[in-house]
Structure 1
Amino acid sequence: MADEASTPPPPAYPTSACTCGALVIWTVTTSGKRMPVDSTPADDGNIKLTHRGTSLPPLAVVTTNPAQLFGVRHRYRSHFANCPHAASHRRGRR
């Protein structure tokens, strides 16, 4: 099995444009909710994407403890963290 730190992300994560014009990757969180993440990895990201096959969106594993992502080469950020239109896309808690 390849070392996770040296494994590149799957090349075919589908992206789509947000209303702000940025490309996002649509993911599903571990709690089953859809979440857009920025399509470009970020050194300070707190999200690890796990590829689940070609017919399922990637799984977004979100952490508040950066030490949990030590060695993860490609980290991502929630697009809501920097989207100027984030408030218009948020839904109330269900």
Structure 2
Amino acid sequence: MKPLVPCRDCRRPILWTITEAGKRLAVDPEPNEDGNTAVHRDGTGAVRSRRPSDELPLCGWERLHMPHVATCPRRTEQLALPAGVTSLAAHRRKRGHRP
């Protein structure tokens, strides 16, 4: 596997992967049965990741890993909104469904 890089927030080692959409995704380097990201190395040596589904389940050469954003202690602390701050996520979802 590629060399591990420390997380900027918690300094734990992370493994950078490339998703099917070409985006970068940080995952914990150790496989995790509770993870939701299938990770493998392709023929060029790049570490690839994807989300397994019913149509395309986990293959024999892939291992489940946990996305680092789900386990990073500093990120989970930052997810809680401070007092007096309102999340606009629900408003944005409604706005996207205009007829």
TM bin (shorter chain): 0.5 to 0.7
**CA RMSD in angstroms, aligned pairs only:** 2.5
- Give the Å deviation of 1:50: 2.1
- Give the Å deviation of 1:45: 1.3
Matched, 1:48 2:29: no
Between the aligned residues of both structures, percent identity stands at 28
Shift of the 18–44 alpha-carbon distance from structure 1 to 2, 3 Å rule, reads same
Aligned to 2:49: 60
Shift of the 84–49 alpha-carbon distance from structure 1 to 2, 3 Å rule, reads same
Aligned to 2:72: 83
Aligned to 2:18: 28
Please say which structure displays the higher CA radius of gyration: 2
TM-score where L is the length of structure 2: 0.60
Q: Tell me, which stretches of 5 or more residues in structure 2 are unaligned?
A: 80-99
User: How many equivalent residue pairs?
Assistant: 74
Look up the equivalent residue of 2:66 and give its one-letter code: R
What does the per-residue CA deviation read over 1:1-58, in whole Å, with 9 as the maximum and x for residues that have no partner?
xxxxxxxxxxx3321000202111000110111010001110111111121233x3x1
Distance 1:77 1:64 in 2: 16
SS at match of 1:81: helix
Distance 1:72 1:46 in 2: 15
TM-score where L is the length of structure 1: 0.63
Q: Tell me, which stretches of 5 or more residues in structure 1 are unaligned?
A: 1-11, 89-94
Q: 1:37 aligns with which of 14, 27, 30?
A: 27
